[in-house]
Amino acid sequence: MVDLSAQQALRNMIAQIGETVTFQRVTGVAPNATLVSVTVGARVRGYAPESNEVAETGYASSQMGSITQTDRKLVVVAADLAAAGFPMPPQKNDKIILADGTKGNVTEVDAHKRSFTGGIELSMAEIA
């Protein structure tokens, strides 16, 4: 269950330090493909891998793994995304366009991590 005051706090945080992000989903096959594109506010940040945790046995904690500098984490209010008309829930391979024009693919969706606030956390990998 979403706590409405926590959801409003998330919206306030996005308004203060977030940016405008466009979510896109293509459904169907050409020539009958349809594009759904909506713009909402989201908190975007780069990865900050935890270097004190060993991911696999035999590897030092200073080795980061397969995260690249262009990967991003986003937090968006699910209700805002739905109200804008985006088909819910967000899915792997949905497209994201950041405010600076950077384009990426959704690589992971975690609807449970921030469910108390009504938020969805997504991972995005930049595409050329």
Could you give the number of structural domains in the chain? 1
Q: Let me know if residue 29 belongs to a domain.
A: yes
Q: Let me know if residue 56 belongs to a domain.
A: no
Q: Let me know if residue 87 belongs to a domain.
A: yes
pLDDT at 93 (0 to 100): 93
Q: Let me know if residue 105 belongs to a domain.
A: yes
Q: Let me know if residue 55 belongs to a domain.
A: no
User: 16-68, pLDDT tens digit by residue?
Assistant: 999 999 999 999 888 899 999 999 999 999 865 555 554 555 545 445 555 45
Exposure string over 52-83, b if 16+ CB within 10 A, otherwise e: eeeeeeeeeeeeeeeeeeebbbbbbbbebbee
Q: Let me know if residue 10 belongs to a domain.
A: yes
User: 23-35, pLDDT tens digit by residue?
Assistant: 999 998 888 999 9
Q: Let me know if residue 88 belongs to a domain.
A: yes
User: 92-124, pLDDT tens digit by residue?
Assistant: 999 999 999 999 999 999 988 888 999 999 999
Domain containing 77 equals: 4-47+65-126
Q: Which CATH number belongs to the domain containing residue 70 in this structure?
A: 2.40.10
pLDDT at 61 (0 to 100): 46
Alpha carbons 87 and 103: distance in angstroms, whole number:
19
